[in-house]
Amino acid sequence: MTRRLAMAAGSAALLGACSIIPRGADVPSRPIENAPLPEPTETGLPQDRDRHRIALLVPMSGENGAVGQSIANATTMAILDTNANNLRITAYDTAINPRDAARRAVADGNKLILGPLMGENVGAVLSEARRADVPLISFSNDAAIASPDVFVMGQIPEQSIRRSVEYAREAKGVRDFAVVAPDGEYGRRAEAALQTAVADFGGRVVGSESYARGNTSVVSAMDRLVARGGFGGLLIADSARLATQAAGRVKPGGAGNTLIIGTELWSGDASVTRASALRGAIFSAVSDDRYRRFVDSYEARFGAQPYRISTLGYDAVLLTLRVARDWRVGRDFPVSQLRDSGGFVGLDGPFRFGRSGVIERAFEVREIRNGQVVVVDPAPNRFDD
């Protein structure tokens, strides 16, 4: 057991009987509980006559181990906060071999997989899970991996862009848009999202430029776009640092009327408030109202700050508990109940899964104003259609 995992296991043990079990090459298969345990099965897990077995597939070691551990800690919190006694969640390390992790999860009798974290691992996990009719609720934000038995729970960049375009058209009157985006998958998705949203809300895209990620390249791309001109709204699909470099070419010192539009990548980055070129810029993200309380509770329990993505682990448990009301132990997970049109409410606000299996979230619009990030159009509290 690595020191990092040993510390996490110790923290969980102090919390009480939380029914979270670590499983992997370098962690024990014994439940992290301080209550008397029933007799183990052949797999090493306790007998479960009254609990649903849920697998959590995340990296618990390696480059993304800290992120996976943060998600695992959040699932522990969700069970403790809800006093859930009908779920047993077992964590499997996907860092080395996600397919092997899925194979062990299926062999252990889990009926639902929360994860994996990386969209590129879905194929390997699904190859084992599908044989046993075990669905996935993935933490990825890649809508392309969704299928009848793969639900995508990550925050979808396209939805953030769409929300911002809607606000720019209806509240700011912007009609003509341009985009500067990095080479690669994220940039292509961002540009396509802008094209679709602008068309749906009655505007037009009049220019686009791409670049290899870097200060010089993004500035050159921005200069080419500015030379052509003719746009009132500009989507910069990159981090706050590179967005500041690009925005400085069209709004030096914050002067000018172009509406700068960012993406969900700006959420939580305090540097946006210090960049004069980003004054008046907007971007959309899920509400942080519940997240702030989650952070305080997480720090009190684990002595560290969580990764922002760890709320997905917490909300996945809440979602599973909601479905478990009408789910008999030992039966297949009732996938159809995930498509409740009324949606669910979690730490990141209201959400629901569409027919495609891709999550739909409620986003708020934020504006950078007077050195602060201000909510100018709150996220809706529920879905009306």
300 and 247 fall within a common domain = no
Instruction: Give tens-digit pLDDT for 75-101.
Output: 999 999 999 989 999 999 999 999 999
200 and 137 fall within a common domain = no
Domain count, the chain: 2
| Per-position DSSP letters for 315-381, written without gaps between them | HHHHHHHHHHTT--TTSPP-GGGGG-TT-EEETTEEEEE-TTSBEEE--EEEEEETTEEEEEEPPPS
pLDDT score recorded for residue 5 = 29
pLDDT score recorded for residue 23 = 44
Q: Tokens standing for 372?
A: 């602060």
Residue 259 lies in a domain: yes
- Give me the CATH number covering residue 302: 3.40.50.2300
254 and 312 fall within a common domain = no
Residue 119 lies in a domain: yes
Q: Which residues contact 25 (CB under 8 A, 6 or more apart)?
A: 93, 96
Strand partners, 87: 52
CA atoms within 13 A on the CB side of 176: 9
Q: Which residues contact 336 (CB under 8 A, 6 or more apart)?
A: none
201 and 325 fall within a common domain = no
39 and 149 fall within a common domain = yes
12 and 57 fall within a common domain = yes
Please name the amino acid found at residue 199: A
205 and 131 fall within a common domain = no
186 and 166 fall within a common domain = yes
Reference 246, options 283, 215, 210, 272; nearest CA is 215
Residue 384 lies in a domain: no
pLDDT score recorded for residue 122 = 96
193 and 71 fall within a common domain = no
Residue 358 lies in a domain: no
pLDDT score recorded for residue 45 = 63
Q: Which long-range contacts (CB under 8 A, 24 or more apart) does 76-80 make?
A: 76/12, 76/15, 76/18, 76/20, 77/294, 77/297, 77/298, 77/301, 77/314, 78/313, 78/314, 78/315, 78/317, 78/318, 79/18, 79/19, 79/20, 79/317, 80/15, 80/16, 80/18
Strand partners, 353: 359
Cβ(281)–Cβ(257) under 8 Å? no
CA dist., res. 54 & res. 60, Å (int): 17
Q: Which residues contact 230 (CB under 8 A, 6 or more apart)?
A: 176, 178, 206, 207
133 and 166 fall within a common domain = no
| Per-position DSSP letters for 188-247, written without gaps between them | HHHHHHHHHHHHHTT-EEEEEEEE-SSHHHHHHHHHHHHHH---SEEEE-S-HHHHHHHH
176 and 278 fall within a common domain = yes
Q: Which residues contact 291 (CB under 8 A, 6 or more apart)?
A: 308, 311, 347, 348
126 and 164 fall within a common domain = no
The range of the structural domain enclosing residue 22 comes to 3-154+290-353
pTM for the structure as a whole: 0.83
Q: Which residues contact 384 (CB under 8 A, 6 or more apart)?
A: none
Per-residue confidence in pLDDT tens, the chain, 385 aa: 232 322 232 222 222 223 344 444 333 232 323 233 333 344 566 666 788 999 999 999 999 999 999 999 999 999 999 999 899 999 999 999 999 999 999 999 999 999 999 999 999 999 999 999 999 999 999 999 999 999 999 999 999 999 999 999 999 999 999 999 999 999 999 999 999 999 999 999 999 999 998 778 999 999 999 999 999 999 999 999 999 999 999 999 889 999 999 999 999 899 999 999 999 999 999 999 999 999 999 999 999 999 999 999 999 999 999 988 889 988 999 999 998 778 899 999 999 999 999 999 999 999 999 999 999 999 988 887 6
Residue 383 lies in a domain: no
Residue 273 lies in a domain: yes
CA dist., res. 331 & res. 111, Å (int): 8
Instruction: Give tens-digit pLDDT for 196-219.
Output: 999 999 999 999 999 998 778 999
Residue 385 lies in a domain: no
Cβ(212)–Cβ(183) under 8 Å? yes
Residue 245 lies in a domain: yes
